[in-house]
Amino acid sequence: MFRDGRVGVIARRCWTIPACFVNPGHRFATFRCAGRRSASVRAVTAIPRSFRAYIAEKVDDRVERGVRSLAASDLPPGEVEIRVEWSSVNYKDGLATRADGKVARISPLIPGIDLAGKVVSSADPALAVGATVLAHGYDLGVARHGGYSEFQRVPAGWVVPLDASLDPREAMAIGTAGFTAAMSVIALEDRGLRPGDGPVLVTGASGGVGSTAVAILAQRGHEVWAATGKPDEEARLRTLGATGVLSRDDVTASGKPLESERWAGAVDAVGAATLPYVLRTLRTGAAVASSGNASGPKLETTVFPFILRGVALLGMDSAQMAIERRRAIWARLADDLRPRGTGDAVTDVDLDTLDGALDAIVAGAARGRWVVRVSD
Ligand SMILES: NC(=O)c1ccc[n+]([C@@H]2O[C@H](COP(=O)([O-])OP(=O)(O)OC[C@H]3O[C@@H](n4cnc5c(N)ncnc54)[C@H](OP(=O)(O)O)[C@@H]3O)[C@@H](O)[C@H]2O)c1
């Protein structure tokens, strides 16, 4: 087994066409590999001759986006073939479809960093045909084709069997963003945060990570304060369980290296503009779970929060998490970490109406989550 959980043999390079699809990077028009196939490319496929996928392709200095018709041989190798029913729109998906996004590592790319659906063919006895599963992270939708495709092939070691209480749409309404929120709450609680310790701040609260974090923390009895740039989201955030709401200005203003100790913990997916504020207002010994850069990647802070208050900056990376831990967190997302009340702010799109959501999420216009109906 590889470090990222994949099982099997690494795809061998096709020496006939050095950049063939067994190694991504080729245009779809030239995907048919005339050379030796990888040992892990399936000889038999349950994927139909033709299916639809949403493609982002770099052309000069722009990215062309749209739905195209593909064949099974256009997909990467993998032990499990999935009929994708639902995917979702995450901030990273928006970036993966922009020329300046610095996320896509192949072109053309089927974006979609998460997917859920049914197994249609499997070389792994633990993942039976007909099982409802999901996959997210690793290279999906970034360096390897992702969820915006009616069919996808993935390594068995990337697959999470879905708890019977979650259907694929609900799972994708949680999606990578909700998974990251859960991971953040677990990290804070593992470090000692308990309900009753004091207010916990969630920034970017109207977005995917933020709104799910508000819901999970509130359900677990924490006193949640939500920071948002959208004043009209206040009522929804209070319904999700926020005790108080701050404006984006409150959490982006410049200040002294250390300010009054306010927060017992924090979940931040916004980065540049807010993380310095969070660090200088955390209470002694408190921590922030940092997962995102929705307002930019730069972090300008001093060391004082760390050396004078012992605060901790906990890095969250959902993409490279080992599969056993990923499966365990999904089991909890179906159970004690299941976000409730977030369903009201889930908007459905499909492959033909995806463009607007991809643009809106990068513009900071997210209100909850978009789910993508990929196939019926
Ligand atoms: N590390 C990981 O594993 C991981 C996993 C998932 C996501 N992420 C990252 O976490 C961040 C949020 O992801 P998401 O899917 O939750 O995105 P999202 O739904 O777009 O939420 C981001 C929210 O951040 C707030 N925001 C503040 N300043 C912003 C600005 N200048 N531009 C855009 N948004 C701004 C907005 O909320 P308000 O208006 O309410 O302030 C926005 O809705 C992204 O950077 C994403 O790449 C990381």
In whole angstroms, give the CA distance from residue 49 to residue 90: 29
> Which residues sit opposite 185 in a β-bridge?
none
Q: Is 228 in the pocket of ligand 1 (CB under 6 A)?
A: yes
In whole angstroms, give the CA distance from residue 347 to residue 256: 40
Ligand 1 centroid – CA 247 distance (Å): 15
Q: Which domains does the chain have, with CATH numbers?
A: 28-162+342-373 (3.90.180.10), 176-315 (3.40.50.720)
Contact 287, 311 (CB under 8 A): yes
Q: Is 295 in the pocket of ligand 1 (CB under 6 A)?
A: yes
Ligand 1 centroid – CA 16 distance (Å): 43
Residue that the structure tokens 């799109």 belong to: 349
pLDDT of the chain, 376 residues: tens digit per residue: 333 333 333 333 332 222 333 333 333 333 333 223 343 445 579 999 999 999 999 999 999 999 999 999 999 999 999 999 999 999 999 999 999 999 999 999 999 999 999 999 999 999 999 999 999 999 999 999 999 999 999 999 999 999 999 999 999 999 999 999 999 999 999 999 999 999 999 999 999 999 999 999 999 999 999 999 999 999 999 999 999 999 999 999 999 999 999 999 999 999 998 999 999 999 999 999 999 999 999 999 999 999 999 999 999 999 999 999 999 999 999 999 999 988 889 999 999 999 999 999 999 998 999 999 999 8
Atom 13 (ligand 1) nearest CA:
91
Ligand 1 centroid – CA 41 distance (Å): 36
Residue that the structure tokens 């195209």 belong to: 68
Q: Is 183 in the pocket of ligand 1 (CB under 6 A)?
A: no
Q: What is the DSSP code (8-state) at residue 144? A: B
pTM, rounded to two decimals:
0.90
Question: How many Cα atoms sit within 13 Å of 115 on the Cβ side?
Answer: 32
Atom 28 (ligand 1) nearest CA:
295
Atom 8 (ligand 1) nearest CA:
292
